[in-house]
């Protein structure tokens, strides 16, 4: 079987990946290397060259690079200053990679094409012209953006892989799901710390409002109102600085005191990430949106660190309640949007924060050995590779 994995996101370049938070790119590299290690022929289609053991087909980036040179920008500065220009140039690259993969399949060079990242709606209407099976993975909630909400349901008959059962809730009930495959990590990537009690809990990830960092801050402060040794919150992640990032400027930055609430910045080094997560009493994941998976949770479990999260999206699938952490129900209230006048549900922060703080008080009862064991049983790279190979075999056999 010959597999073509298409990762058309412009960040998929060796010199860009270390500078951004782009979990799908890292997962794709692990997936192709794991499939190749199983003795299967696999080709990776990416905008630029990446560090991989498999054949790597790339796009023509000359037009994109010429525009960057003319403006005196790099990829990230162009994205920040002129997002529409960036997206227009990136779309051309993405379309080229999808076309290359479909052409290779039609020429008999591939038996299946797997389009793996968030630009796959470019390939949706053209999948009908590929003579070999095509399967799609999406890494956001299916209703996250307007273009997703309107395009994906129209192609529900195509082959889809979900990364959680929760992710499926945003698609029509009769979507053609070819399989559900959880993400996975190499077991040797993280060394667990299985004993001792830390004086801090961790937040790791993008600092945007749907990730709920403000709730984590409030929960730690609420916990510290009780007598006893205070708990610290250490924040590692990337925020979007500048006047336009009102969430960071208004809700997060004023809370950082360097003592109880600490901001460590964006941790790029894998060993430093391991030490940060393994050293924490717990990982807080208070996401308020429909998390399709949540990589940092299995990274924490691999470190033996319990997870406390809200009942959003896939969090209840990843966290085994009372065994590897706690899942806290969100309390919701209805408000009227001042701009549209429409009613919508938002998190009622006071009871939700109180519930998170209560879970913090119980997290020391979680067995860290059980956390690591659950990771090894459910969330390893080997399990992720096996899950994808099962889907590939099924689709190729019925084609």
Asked if residue 239 and residue 307 are part of one domain, the reply reads yes
Strand partners for 136: 115, 160
Asked if residue 365 and residue 218 are part of one domain, the reply reads yes
For residue 51, the tally of other CB atoms under 10 A from its CB is 9
Asked if residue 340 and residue 279 are part of one domain, the reply reads yes
Output the pTM of the full model.
0.92
CATH at 19: 3.40.50.2000
CA distance 138 to 122: 12
Asked if residue 151 and residue 13 are part of one domain, the reply reads yes
Q: What is the mean pLDDT of each run of 10 residues along the chain (399 residues)?
A: 96 90 91 94 97 96 93 90 91 95 98 88 93 95 86 95 96 97 96 90 94 97 93 92 76 94 92 96 96 96 98 97 96 85 88 97 96 98 97 92
pLDDT of residue 244: 58
Asked if residue 325 and residue 209 are part of one domain, the reply reads yes
CA dihedral 144, 146, 147, 151 (to 10 degrees): 90
pLDDT of residue 364: 94
With H, G, I as helix, E, B as strand and everything else as coil, classify residue 79: helix
CA distance 122 to 285: 32
pLDDT of residue 116: 95
Asked if residue 85 and residue 201 are part of one domain, the reply reads no
Candidates 290, 220, 209, 297; CA nearest to 246 is 209
pLDDT of residue 197: 83
Asked if residue 306 and residue 159 are part of one domain, the reply reads no
pLDDT of residue 67: 92
Asked if residue 64 and residue 15 are part of one domain, the reply reads yes
Asked if residue 73 and residue 15 are part of one domain, the reply reads yes
Asked if residue 171 and residue 218 are part of one domain, the reply reads no
Asked if residue 152 and residue 235 are part of one domain, the reply reads no
Asked if residue 90 and residue 233 are part of one domain, the reply reads no
For residue 304, the tally of other CB atoms under 10 A from its CB is 24
Task: For residue 109, give the DSSP letter.
Answer: S
Range of the domain at 91: 2-184+381-398
The answer to whether 4 and 35 are in contact (CB under 8 A) is: no
What's the number of domains the chain is made of? 2
User: pLDDT digits over 163-180, tens only?
Assistant: 999 999 999 999 999 999
The answer to whether 9 and 24 are in contact (CB under 8 A) is: yes
pLDDT of residue 21: 80
Chain position carrying tokens 């996975």:
184
User: pLDDT digits over 85-135, tens only?
Assistant: 999 999 999 999 999 999 999 999 999 999 998 677 889 999 999 999 999
CA distance 184 to 243: 37
């Amino acid at each position: 079987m010959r597999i073509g994995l298409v990762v058309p996101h412009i960040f998929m370049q060796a010199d860009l990946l270390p500078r951004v938070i782009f979990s799908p790119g890292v997962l794709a590299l692990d997936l192709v290397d794991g499939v190749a290690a199983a003795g299967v022929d696999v080709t990776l289609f990416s905008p630029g060259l990446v560090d991989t053991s498999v054949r790597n087909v790339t796009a023509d980036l000359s037009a994109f690079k010429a525009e960057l040179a003319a403006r005196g920008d790099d990829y990230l500065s162009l994205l920040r200053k002129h997002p529409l220009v960036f997206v227009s140039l990136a779309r051309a690259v993405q379309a080229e990679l999808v076309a290359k993969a479909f052409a290779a399949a039609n020429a008999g060079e591939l038996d299946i094409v797997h389009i793996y990242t968030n630009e796959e709606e470019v390939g949706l209407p053209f999948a009908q012209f590929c003579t070999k099976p095509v399967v799609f993975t999406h890494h956001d909630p299916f209703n996250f953006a307007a273009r997703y909400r309107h395009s994906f349901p129209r192609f529900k008959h195509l082959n889809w892989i979900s990364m959680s059962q929760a992710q499926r809730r945003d698609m029509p009930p009769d979507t053609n799901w070819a399989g559900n495959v959880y993400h996975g990590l190499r077991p040797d990537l993280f060394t667990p710390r299985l004993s001792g009690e830390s004086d801090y809990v961790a937040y790791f990830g993008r600092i945007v409002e749907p990730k709920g960092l403000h709730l984590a801050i409030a929960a730690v402060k609420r916990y510290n109102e009780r007598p006893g040794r205070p708990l610290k919150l250490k924040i590692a992640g990337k925020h979007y600085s500048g006047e336009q990032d009102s969430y960071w400027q208004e809700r997060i930055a004023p809370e950082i005191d360097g003592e109880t609430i600490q901001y460590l910045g964006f941790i790029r080094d894998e060993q430093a990430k391991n030490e940060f997560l393994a050293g924490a009493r717990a990982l807080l994941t208070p996401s308020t949106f429909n998390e399709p998976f949540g990589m940092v949770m299995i990274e924490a479990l691999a470190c033996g660190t319990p997870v406390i999260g809200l009942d959003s999206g896939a969090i209840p699938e990843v966290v085994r309640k009372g065994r590897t952490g706690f899942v806290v129900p969100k309390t919701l209230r209805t408000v009227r949007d001042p701009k549209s006048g429409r009613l919508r549900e938002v998190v009622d922060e006071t009871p939700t924060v109180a519930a998170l703080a209560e879970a913090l008080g119980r997290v020391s009862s979680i067995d860290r050995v059980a956390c690591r064991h659950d990771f090894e049983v459910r969330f390893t790279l080997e399990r992720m590779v096996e899950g994808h190979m099962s889907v590939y075999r099924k689709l190729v056999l019925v084609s």
